[in-house]
Chain A
């Protein structure tokens, strides 16, 4: 009797595998249990054993090719046996046509694979047409329910049971399912709760997310934070920026650039803030290297503007623009985002008025910048509209005391409110 050799499923999460090598050539005799081929997934190789005896009559998938799990890759049969029907079936299965009414052969040579979501050769969930239609009408995603039919196929009773048990609705995936199922378009019923837009799901944390979690938890745990907030009148700083930009021939200095320059100057005057706790010593850094928190898709990174105290506004603006651009493109070298002595995080563009940032160790402080807004301010007994910005400084209390932080912040505020010192 002819025996199929199929791409085995080496993992429930494996959808396709690579045929690494054939151990036999067409025409070679085979005994059950012989290794006929070798397949690979994710740096793991597995021997494929013959499930029957005879001759390796046909090799259907060449070495180096990657095919879906369950694909017929070869046929073992007696030398004279007619295998045309089996080959025709494999050829028919290839372009993924119509409803699979007959089940393909078991996907794996090992009968005791853990149960997974049953899928046909074309990657679709195996289900009867009735079950498919019913699931679409009920808004149940077929991939989320177990099948009790032959070969794990999902049948009508499975969908009914899932509906009774409150299976997850198809949500975003419905579009695809509906498109494949004629007549189902638009028949999407959200689950009983609310709008049906939310899905209960667990998303594996990316390496970046894990690193952020680890570093920031390291910070808020052992680093005793405290927070100081002040409001700064930005009228003169913004006027100065406008004047500078008017004379710069197209090049623009941003508010963040002015804040970086101001912070650098203030740090030079308060070296006790430009410092790190190093166990038994407090390290006052000899350079002012400013970290600039930049939001990225799925995380953030803090490129470092080196020697900010020795650079003019224009140079700061140019270097910062370059750093931020490359940070967003994830092209920074490690030395470009490591080793800051103080950081600034600006969420003004997100319309945040005021927030507290978490210190990036081993720095001793970080400045959280809110959005500059027009506000009524009482001045000399009169109400005036002024552009105001709220900043909150997070301090490592091991290094910076309340009064130390307050003095730094007073300098920072004073410079922004009387900004001519910055251009001198």
Chain B
């Protein structure tokens, strides 16, 4: 597990993930990684969105924020300060070669992490991601359930990249009013802070790591960026 202390510009993070995934595929990287970081503000557009739809989804509110069209599944997502982003670089040959299982396991990681932070979260059938609120409240558009984490992954030769984004502070939500996140009309985004959770410094990343370890039955070791840099696989552009 690697926690990147500084805010990472999206382009640099994307390029880094791609390099790491390639290295994992061809064996230069011998172990799986979980990257945990925060991005500079950015809007990403997944493969689920047709080019002609982008404008109606993104609107004018986010003009001036860089926009990336990327190879993960899913729709339109905002990343920025206050959001903990996780990029697992996993060789699924060692787990299960099953993308539905993988996405459900990522959801499970976050549900466990949130439980540890005192927030009950759950899945909503047919809507990938992690949700909080009252599952009895009927349609998503009613706002009784709110989305706290988004998921979108990409796999090549069963090696994963992209991953999840967990809204931690209210700052992570600011611009969501301007877009229809993940293409679900009326969906309300929320954050740990908005839901009234309290945590000590570093606790969220710790909870996410241990939730991840439990959901995947994996053992996580803290790793230093320097080790990757020595192998020529460091984050550049910082």
- Interface residues of chain A, those whose CB is within 8 Å of chain B, are 10-14, 20-21, 35, 38, 40-47, 49, 64, 110, 112-114, 206-208, 210-212, 214, 299, 301, 330-334, 337-338
- Chain A min CB distance to B145 (Å): 8
Q: Which of B48, B144, B157 sits near A333, CB closer than 8 Å?
A: B144
* B136/A208 in contact, CB under 8 A: yes
Partner pick for A64 among B50, B134, B143, B157, CB 8 A cutoff: B50
Chain A residues whose CB sits within 8 angstroms of the CB of B155 once the complex forms: 10, 44-47
A208 near B71: Cβ-Cβ < 8 Å: no
Expressed in whole angstroms, the Cα–Cα distance for A300 and B136 within the complex equals 9
Chain A residues contacting B151 (CB-CB under 8 Å) are 43
- The complex places the Cα of A40 from the Cα of B158 at a distance, in Å, of 13
Q: A334 contacts which of B73, B128, B144 (Cβ < 8 Å)?
A: B144
Tally inter-chain residue pairs, CB-CB below 8 A.
117
| B73:A112 contact, CB within 8 angstroms | no
Give the chain A neighbours of B125 by CB distance below 8 A: 206-207
Residue of A nearest to B100 (CB): A11
On whether the beta carbons of A43 and B73 are closer than 8 Å, the reply is yes
Residues of B within 8 A of A49 (CB): 156-157
Is A14 a contact of B100 with CB atoms below 8 Å?
yes
Q: Is the CB of B47 within 8 A of A45?
A: yes
Interface residues of B (CB under 8 A from A): 46-48, 50, 71-74, 93, 96-103, 120, 122-125, 128, 133-139, 142-144, 151-158
* B100–A13 CB distance below 8 A: yes
Q: Given A13-B100, A43-B128, A334-B133, 12 more contacts at CB 8 Å?
A: A14-B100, A40-B47, A43-B152, A44-B73, A44-B99, A44-B100, A47-B157, A64-B50, A110-B158, A114-B98, A207-B124, A332-B142
Q: Which residues of B contact A12 (CB under 8 A)?
A: 98
Tell me if A44 and B144 are in contact (CB < 8 A): no
The answer to whether A11 touches B158 (Cβ under 8 A) is: no
B137:A42 contact, CB within 8 angstroms? no
Assess the A43–B153 pair: CB atoms within 8 A: yes
B142 touches A334 (CB 8 A): yes
Complex interface: chain A residues within 8 A of B122 (CB): 207, 210-211
**A212 to chain B: closest residue by CB:** B136
Question: Given known contacts A13-B100, A20-B47, is B154 in contact with A46 (CB within 8 Å)?
Answer: yes
Q: Which B residue's beta carbon lies closest to that of A49?
A: B157
CA A110 – CA B91 in complex, angstroms? 14
Q: Can you list 20 contacts pairing A with B, beta carbon distance less than 8 Å?
A: A11-B99, A11-B100, A14-B100, A20-B47, A20-B48, A38-B71, A42-B99, A42-B103, A44-B99, A44-B103, A47-B154, A110-B157, A112-B93, A114-B96, A114-B98, A206-B125, A211-B134, A211-B136, A334-B134, A337-B137
Contact of B72 among A13, A41, A45, A207 (CB under 8 A): A45
Query: Would you call A44 and B123 a contact (CB within 8 A)?
Result: no
Is there contact, CB below 8 Å, between B156 and A47? Answer: yes
Q: Do B135 and A210 touch (CB < 8 A)?
A: yes
CB A188 to nearest CB in B, in angstroms, measures 32
Chain A minimum-CB-distance residue to B75: A43
C-alpha spacing A331/B138, complex, angstroms: 6
Specify which of B96, B100, B133, B144 is in contact with A42 (CB 8 Å cutoff).
B100
- B98, B123, B144: which has the most chain A beta carbons within 10 Å? B98
A365 CA to B73 CA, complexed, in Å:
48
Determine the distance from Cα of A110 to Cα of B155 in the docked complex, in whole angstroms.
Answer: 13
Q: Which residues from chain A contact B152 at a C-beta distance below 8 Å?
A: 43-44
Query: A14-B99, A41-B99 given as contacts; is B139 within 8 A of A330 (CB)?
Result: yes
User: Cβ of A44 and Cβ of B154 under 8 Å apart?
Assistant: yes
B101 near A11 with CB under 8 A, answer: yes
Instruction: List B contacts of A333 (CB < 8 A).
Output: 137, 142-144
What is the CA–CA distance of A101 and B65 in the complex, to the nearest angstrom? 57
Whether the Cβ atoms of B136 and A10 lie closer than 8 Å is no
* A424 CA to B52 CA, complexed, in Å: 66
**Cβ contacts under 8 Å, B124 to chain A:** 207
In the complex formed, the residue of B with least CB distance to A35 is: B156
Bound together, the chains give a CA A303 to CA B221 distance in angstroms of 48
Q: With A10-B155, A44-B102 as given contacts, are A211 and B96 in contact (CB-CB < 8 Å)?
A: no
* Alpha-carbon separation in the docked complex, A14 to B73 (Å): 15
Q: Given A45-B153, A45-B154, are A114 and B139 neighbors across the interface (CB < 8 Å)? A: no
